[in-house]
Amino acid sequence: MTTDSRTYLDPEVIEKISGLELKARLIVEGFISGLHKSPFRGSSVEFAEHREYVPGDDMRFLDWKVYGKTDRLYIKRYEEETNLDAHVVVDASMSMAYRDSTRSRDSRAKGPSKYEYASWCAAALAYLITRQQDTVGLVLFDETVRKIVPAASNKAHLVNMIGELEKAEPAEGTGIARALGEAGEAVRRRGLVVLFSDLMDDSEEILRGLKQVRHRGHEVLLFHVLAHDELTFPFDRLTRFEGMEEVTQLTADPVSLRTAYLEEVKKFRRRLRRVCLANRIDLVEMDTSDSLGIVLSAYLAKRAAVRRR
């Protein structure tokens, strides 16, 4: 019997799997591996080097002369293919600890926190990039940059990077502009900066940080991670709301707030889309209740299609 791999990419199912490295591998191999193999790469006619064949690589680039001499399969790599330096920049501020207040109909457990969802996604992309033998690094931040893992491409490095994601606990406030600035400096040549955040920070600082990284010549991918509660505001009775990054409490009737709240969320997301479009930043809007595999694969398929054109 064939099992639908998407079953294993449901956020609640992924959460039950022990070990972030295993989660990352399942996300990549269970759903994304059937896509175009180089969603992050460009192409060039200038030959650079060989690398060992990985199942799923484009057979057109096999070097049959090398195979005839060594009986081993190697892929020809081209200059632009060797030039990807990527850094995943993950928000580990206290607001990222939020998880939906409601439980699904078929589960007793709540869904993942925003940080858990973001770390799964970051680990999956790091796994994918490393498997392509490109380099990837990590920046963890809250109010300041908490940890930088320089970019590399070997298995031990990936395990170390995933370990840092796994042991981090959300804390403190948010300092996105500073984190993006340090990430931009960490990428020595023009590369890829991938930000995972709920963007719970001063909007002007966020937009300034994004523009600065883009102006350095780096490509920017922004994964805007929000809980389903934050997108729908489902509360329907007198509720005490507690600030996660500021010690504040507010008891209010959510029904009277819902319309105004949702309008503010819509306005911010609309403005964010405009800024990203104007600065050629890829924006992926994420809801932690959605299947992670479907969200990621849809984005990577779209990116690969754009590059082929």
What pLDDT, on a 0 to 100 scale, did the predictor assign at position 33?
Answer: 44
What pLDDT, on a 0 to 100 scale, did the predictor assign at position 91?
Answer: 93
What pLDDT, on a 0 to 100 scale, did the predictor assign at position 297?
Answer: 77
What pLDDT, on a 0 to 100 scale, did the predictor assign at position 25?
Answer: 62
Q: Please list the ranges in the chain whose pLDDT falls under 50.
A: 1-9, 31-39, 42-48, 79-82, 104-108
Strands 239-242 and 249-252: antiparallel
pLDDT digits (tens, 9 = 90+) for 203-228: 888 888 888 888 888 889 999 999 99
Residues facing residue 283 across a β-bridge: 222
Coil, strand or helix at 150: strand
Cα separation, 123 vs 113, in Å, equals: 15
What pLDDT, on a 0 to 100 scale, did the predictor assign at position 3?
Answer: 33
Q: How far is CA 76 from CA 47, 73, 124, 134, in A?
A: 7, 10, 25, 14
Q: How far is CA 224 from CA 10, 76, 139, in A?
A: 19, 36, 16
Q: How far is CA 250 from CA 96, 231, 239, in A?
A: 20, 19, 8
pTM: 0.75
Beta strands in 166-218 (DSSP E): 192-197
What pLDDT, on a 0 to 100 scale, did the predictor assign at position 43?
Answer: 41
Residue 248 phi/psi, 5-degree rounding, is: -135, 150
Q: What topology does CATH give the domain 5-37+84-308?
A: Rossmann fold (3.40.50)
pLDDT digits (tens, 9 = 90+) for 125-156: 888 888 777 888 999 998 888 898 988 888 88
What pLDDT, on a 0 to 100 scale, did the predictor assign at position 28?
Answer: 58
What pLDDT, on a 0 to 100 scale, did the predictor assign at position 10?
Answer: 59
Domain boundaries along the sequence of the chain: 5-37+84-308, 47-78
What pLDDT, on a 0 to 100 scale, did the predictor assign at position 173?
Answer: 81
